[in-house]
Amino acid sequence: MQLSLTENNDIILQNRVLVDVDIDPMSRKVYIELEQPSLLNNQADVDRLVDSLRACCGDQVTVPLKMMNKVGEALREGDWRVTATLARFGAVWQVIDIEPGDRMARHYGLAVDLGTTTVVGYLVDLSTGQIMATEADYNGQIQYGMDILTRIYLAGTPGGCKQLQDAVVETLNKIILGLAQKCRVERREISAVTVGANSTMIHLLLGLDPSRICQAPYIPVVNLPGYLKVSDIGLQVNPHAPLYCLPGVGSYVGGDVLGGILASGLHKKPELALFVDIGTNGEMVLGNEEWLMACAGAAGPALEGDVAHDGMRAEPGAVYQVRIDPETKDVNYKTIAGQKAVGICGSGLVDCLAELLLAGIIDRAGKFRSRSREFVVVPAAESATGRDITFTQTDIDNLMRTKGAVNAALETLLEGVGCGLTDITTFYAAGAFGQYLNLESAIIIGLYPDLPREHMIRLGNSSGEGARLVLISDASRREVEKIARSITYFELNAKEEFMNRFVGSKFLPHTNLDYYPTVKQKMMQRGLIQE
């Protein structure tokens, strides 16, 4: 399966660089010139190398058994001048490659954003920390089920876990091959891999049993897997390279979210910030340099596009932008890649809902003011399918439920820490959906808070950016582990108030319109409400 995202491809792949770090990557290359052995200097090959590497990497330098024969060959081939590649495994630096001569210039790593739907790989030059190339593809597990629950169920059947692991490893190996070819890099020159993903994706990547993730009390096998080896799962890079997965804090707040926090830097600032990543699940983190609190809930697939009546994934032909003239009710829409409209993707659905509200076609409860049960976005004559592309009452209800769940989660979280919506200073939107969505529409429907726009930051692929940061900076790695250990996970399913609020927050943009001053103003200007 080739990823066919085009126009929005760049957006999905893009990392927003907010955090500046000193380069101290997960692997190191060291060029050394060794004294040639003689009868009077007869130290063994491996010991000679290790002693010399201790000077730069400290006491804990080790050489895996499978590397040992290679050491002697490289030392002699390079006439005792070699470049060693070392990788960090906790307190230990392990020699993972040795090449004759000076190969300092060729030092690469791979940062991965492993999504349920899309997998993005970034080839990183570990000398500079810069991204050299990006490759994306659908997660090969999709063939076994689009949604995460289907996959968790499959993983519980005999051989299922292995099947799902193989599928995603195959996807990653395709991405690795693509990146290597693009940049003329040998795959064995990739000497470290970091992954940002939700807990279930990490479990399936590592071959761990995900079954307890979806059963109370929602206990994953591991949240902090630490340094593993790529050879444990079969990634086709340097076989001794470390595999580091960003830590998670609970079954529903995974390494993708922690990578996002890291990439936003919100944990190092004094002001209260809200971080939101909305996809099938909605995760949010509230906090500042002193404390962090996270929660998650099933946002429902309404925003993913494909449950809506004419919903679809963000692929060519998807309507991703909709404008409705408040006077004429004429519709103006845009499709991905400019192709004839096939359906509506998530951001198009949010636009529809916002525009229908502002055009006065639906009320604040999300009901059509007329007797209509649907709204035609693209007439049959213009569509690729020859049928009307519509936005229905059911679609509206689904979207409202999703946004209601997000509102309720946020308010439960705020109440838990004794703050209100108005205390939030900065808002970060993570993930492809956050990047792609029209910010104003998201505010109008109440999915995002109504803050000064300069305090609303789209992070792009912050899971991938978090993975890049830990790949190139050990300080960042320690930081994200510290975040994981200090963050408080707020289990929404355990809170009765949450369900109550969920029921109570189904107005557009919010039951209490005062929380949404700019939306209130727009609606008043259009005569849709009175002061």
Residue 160 identity:
G
Binding mask 82-121 for a copy of itself (x = CB under 8 A): -------xxxx-----------------------------
**Rounded to an integer, what distance in angstroms lies between the CA atom of residue 510 and that of residue 403?**
9
Neighbours of 330 (CB within 10 A): 10
Binding mask 159-198 for a copy of itself (x = CB under 8 A): ----------------------------------------
As given in the structure block, the two tokens for residue 250 are: 């609970």
Asked if residues 48 and 70 have their Cβ atoms less than 8 Å apart, the reply is no
Rank residues 180 and 246 by Cβ distance to a copy of itself and give the closer one. Answer: 246
**Rounded to an integer, what distance in angstroms lies between the CA atom of residue 276 and that of residue 258?**
11
Asked if residues 342 and 384 have their Cβ atoms less than 8 Å apart, the reply is yes
Q: Is 65 in the site for a copy of itself (CB under 8 A)?
A: yes
**Rounded to an integer, what distance in angstroms lies between the CA atom of residue 436 and that of residue 277?**
12
Task: Looking at residues 491 to 520 of the shown chain, list those that interact with a copy of itself (rule: CB under 8 A).
Answer: 491, 493-494
Phi, psi of 279 (to 5 degrees): -145, -130
Rank residues 229 and 477 by Cβ distance to a copy of itself and give the closer one. Answer: 229
CB of 198 to a copy of itself, least distance (A): 14
Task: Looking at residues 350 to 409 of the shown chain, list those that interact with a copy of itself (rule: CB under 8 A).
Answer: none
**Rounded to an integer, what distance in angstroms lies between the CA atom of residue 284 and that of residue 409?**
8
Rank residues 101 and 217 by Cβ distance to a copy of itself and give the closer one. Answer: 217
Stretch that binds a copy of itself, among 61-69, 100-108, 123-131, 445-453 (CB under 8 A): 61-69
Q: Is 316 in the site for a copy of itself (CB under 8 A)?
A: no
Q: Is 157 in the site for a copy of itself (CB under 8 A)?
A: no
Task: Looking at residues 21 to 60 of the shown chain, list those that interact with a copy of itself (rule: CB under 8 A).
Answer: 37-47, 50, 60
Q: Is 257 in the site for a copy of itself (CB under 8 A)?
A: no
Rank residues 221 and 417 by Cβ distance to a copy of itself and give the closer one. Answer: 221
Residue 236 identity:
Q
Phi, psi of 420 (to 5 degrees): -120, 170
Residue 134 parent element (H or E): strand 131-138
- Of 147, 227, 306, 481, the one binding a copy of itself (CB under 8 A) is 227
Residue 260, judged by CB atoms within 10 A of its CB (0-12, 13-18, 19+), counts as buried
Chain contacts with a copy of itself (rule: CB under 8 A): 37-47, 50, 60, 62-63, 65-66, 68-69, 71-72, 89-92, 206-209, 212, 216-229, 232-233, 248, 250-251, 489, 491, 493-494
